[in-house]
Amino acid sequence: MEKTQRIVIVDDHTLLRAGLKALLEKDPGIEVVGEADNGRDAVRVVGQLAPNLVLMDLTMPGMNGIEAVTEIKRRYPEVRVLVMTLHKAEDYIRASLQAGADGYILKDATQEEFRVAIRSVMLGKTYLSMDVSGKVVSGYLGGGKASASASVYDTLTHREREVLKLVAEGKSNKYIAEYLSLSVKTVEKHRSNLMSKLDVHNASGLTAYAIERGLVVR
């Protein structure tokens, strides 16, 4: 990599971001130009700073990492995104790649693997941690039968998951609004978004989905 690579770090843990920044800036070819602790701010920071690469966590409050990857790739397709996460499950991997991620590395990777992953992604390659690549291959050999519903669940925001659980428990819009300190109109919007994302058409469908996911017990 001849020119300096501009990187944005997105993670909701302050100490982890500081550690990554210290590690990355030991490389004279890398400059950490910005940080964010949630997906929504990540999209905004990428628009403001025009980095070459985003290091993206998946589990964050508000807009999660998968949603952020989708939005960043939609708005700024030239920006490369390397997911860094603790999640090894195939549904997370599949959802990240479908969202447009250029690589997927586990947070327990060595420093050397981390550097290799960054360089590979910046060269236009797709990088997958060894454990991750094995799961992806197994999924394809199995006919790609990974649970689609699991991947869809990972695209739900934290608030949507809260609303889903409360709806499945039989709570009214008014109760949910008061419990979550939202307006009834906002709760209705969340319910509408949930039905659209999960491809169900009423509260019964949301409840059945929540039970299937183990969010509530009936």
Q: Which DSSP string do the residues of 36-96 spell out, in sequence order?
A: ESSHHHHHHHHHHH--SEEEE-S--SSS-HHHHHHHHHHH-TTSEEEEEES---HHHHHHH
Same domain, 160 and 134: no
Q: Which of 7, 3, 40 is CA-nearest to residue 23?
A: 7
Contact yes or no for 131/112 (Cβ under 8 A): no
107-116, 134-143, 207-216 — most confident range: 107-116
Domain-terminating residue out of 93, 108, 141: 141
pTM above 0.75, yes or no: no
Domain-located, residue 105: yes
Domain-terminating residue out of 100, 118, 141: 141
User: What is the reported pLDDT for 201?
Assistant: 85
User: What is the reported pLDDT for 50?
Assistant: 96
Same domain, 88 and 171: no
Same domain, 188 and 92: no
Domain-terminating residue out of 109, 141, 173: 141
What type of residue is 29? G
Lowest model confidence (mean pLDDT) among 15-19, 55-59, 142-146:
142-146
User: What is the reported pLDDT for 1?
Assistant: 44
For the chain, give the percent of residues with pLDDT over 70: 88
Note down the domain range covering 13.
5-141
Measured CA angle at 115 (ends 111, 120), to 5 deg: 145
Q: What is the CATH number of the domain that holds 203?
A: 1.10.10.10
Q: Which of 90, 26, 35 is CA-nearest to residue 57?
A: 35
Contact yes or no for 191/163 (Cβ under 8 A): yes
pLDDT, tens only, 154-192: 788 889 988 998 998 899 999 999 999 999 999 999 999
Same domain, 14 and 77: yes
Q: In this model, does residue 217 exceed pLDDT 80?
A: no
Same domain, 48 and 133: yes
Confidence of residue 62 (pLDDT cuts 50, 70, 90): confident
Q: In this model, does residue 45 exceed pLDDT 60?
A: yes
Q: Which of 53, 57, 56 is CA-nearest to residue 30?
A: 53
Q: What's the structural domain count of the chain? A: 2
What type of residue is 103? G
Domain-located, residue 206: yes
